[in-house]
Amino acid sequence: MPELKIERQHTLGLSGARAVAERWREQAEQEWGMSCTAESGDAEDRMRFARSGVSGELVVTDTRFDLQLKLGFLLGAYSGKIEEKIQANLDALLGPAPSA
């Protein structure tokens, strides 16, 4: 089963990151047919999502977005395209990358 790991740093703080994660959840449910559940914590939030052929988790902290995605056999053939789409989506939601 192909697995994708996408990581993004940000400077939004936890409350700003939570707002972006909520927008991502709405898109995942509406556009991609995902079923999402979220757990909020003091230092991080975890969002689990799934649909036929896909499952994963998004971990949001005050400085990072870490997305892990497992693709089923049929979608595994499209893992490169799927990864590009998710990266572009996260980049659009998070805005420009912070300077080093």
What is residue 93's predicted lDDT score, i.e. its pLDDT? 86
Identify the burial level of 28 via C-beta atoms within 10 angstroms of its C-beta, where 0-12 means exposed, 13-18 middle and 19 or more buried.
Answer: buried
| pLDDT tens digit sequence for 4-33 | 999 999 999 999 999 999 999 999 999 889
| Inter-helix orientation angle 79-94/13-32, to 10° | 140
- Residue 29 falls within a domain, yes or no? yes
- Residue 97 falls within a domain, yes or no? no
Calculate mean pLDDT across residues 47-64: 95
- Residue 98 falls within a domain, yes or no? no
- Residue 37 falls within a domain, yes or no? yes
Q: Whole domain around residue 83: which residue ranges? A: 3-87
What is residue 99's predicted lDDT score, i.e. its pLDDT? 53
pTM of the prediction? 0.84
50-72: string of b/e by CB count within 10 Å (b at 16+)? eeeebbbebbbbeeebebebbbe
Provide the domain count of the chain: 1
| pLDDT tens digit sequence for 58-92 | 999 999 999 999 999 888 888 999 899 888 888 88
- Residue 95 falls within a domain, yes or no? no
- Residue 39 falls within a domain, yes or no? yes
